[in-house]
Amino acid sequence: MKPLLDPAILFFVFGLLAGAIRSNLEIPAQISRFLSLYLLMALGLKGGFALSASGLTAEVAISLSLALLLAVVVPAAGYMVLRRFVSGFDAAAIAATYGSVSAVTFITAVQHLESSGTPYGGHMAAAMALMESPAIIMAVFLANHVRSLGAGGQATTGNLSLRKLLHESLTDGAQLLLLGAMVVGFVSGESGRQAMQPFSGDLFKGMLSFFLLDMGLLAARNMGKLRGQPPFLLAYAVLGPLVHASLALLLAWLAGLESGNAALLMVLAASASYIAVPAVVRHAIPEASPSLYFGMSLGLTFPLNILLGIPLYTSIASRLL
């Protein structure tokens, strides 16, 4: 119950309620964009400072390897399951959405670990960045395969060329800001941490609360897209993240990761993208229905992870590891 009383989580719940009663409360798009960039920059700095203090260890390499493995296995398995119930294009889009990650879910999990005093590695921010692109690339190749089966073997990438898609996936501004801030934090070390404490430390909780208020409003307004959807897809939006988190926990246990890093790996595996992937997939796979992959990830999976998933994954990881 204690995690639900966190001010940031309460602001998210408030946003859900305000959106549910159709209040005209609204965060301007430019402010929302600034908040997301601030959170990524602050997270990158925190990760860089922590990595500078701990150094490059074997656990860093293992964690990043496991993150990359999950970024490939989760969308591939998701596509094989979903292909039995929806079209190949929808299966590819949903698999990409759930194979990628949610930065806000990860940032909320980091704040939860810090509030509970659970140590974690700063390199997990790099793991998050590493997991975002593979699912998008895989989804496009899967969609091309579906097109080739119905178009005489000719594969395309919708409105985006493969080269442009790869460029956008690997040079996305949010990812570059996160990684660039990590480099700055790593290079500047302890002196940089002390200098940036008012920015990346003192302001962080308030900015996260403001952003989660906006996410609550957005999630509530997208829950309507779930009406009339097949029960299997609703079940996948709930049970899929739990299966993905369980797989991450198994890998973390086999690799001997510490509980904090294992919890963040579970959060990454269980989260679903609602910004980066939908933006790319909408152009790369125009045959897919946005109401499916966007509605499922933002309307159901995101609120469940924020309210229940993060404390659940953290608790399980701390008890087992």
pLDDT tens per residue, range 48-100:
898 888 778 888 899 999 999 999 999 999 999 999 999 999 999 999 999 99
User: Is 248 in contact with 262 (CB distance < 8 Å)?
Assistant: yes
Looking at the predicted structure, is the pLDDT value of residue 223 above 60?
yes
pLDDT band at 3 (very low <50, low <70, confident <90, very high): low
Contact 71, 62 (CB under 8 A): no
CATH of the domain at 260: 1.20.1530.20
Q: Which amino acid is present at 232?
A: F
Q: Is the per-residue pLDDT at 154 higher than 70? A: no
Domain that holds residue 212: 2-320
Q: How far apart are CA 297 and CA 218, in angstroms?
A: 12
- Residue-wise pLDDT tens digits, 113-143: 998 999 999 889 889 888 887 888 888 788 8
pLDDT at residue number 291: 81
The token duo for 280 is 């790319």
By percentage, how much of the chain surpasses pLDDT 90? 52
Looking from the CA of 307 toward its CB, the CA atoms found within 13 Å total: 17
CA–CA distance, 63 with 81 (Å, rounded to integer): 27
Q: pTM of the full predicted structure?
A: 0.86
Q: Where does the pLDDT of residue 11 fall: very low under 50, low under 70, confident under 90, or very high at 90 and above?
A: very high
Phi-psi region of 189 (alpha: psi -120 to 50; beta: other; left: phi over 0): left
pLDDT at 321: 84
Query: What's the rounded Cα separation, in Å, for the pair 71 and 269?
Result: 8
3-state secondary structure of 56: coil
Question: What rounded mean pLDDT belongs to the chain?
Answer: 87
When divided into structural domains, the chain yields a total of 1
Which CA distances in Å does 106 have to 167, 181, 273, 292?
24, 16, 11, 23
**Residue 267: pLDDT band by 50, 70, 90 thresholds?**
very high
Length of the chain (residues)? 321
Count the neighbouring beta carbons within 10 Å of the beta carbon of residue 280.
23
156 band by pLDDT with thresholds 50, 70 and 90: very low
Distance of CA 47 to the CA centre of its chain: 16
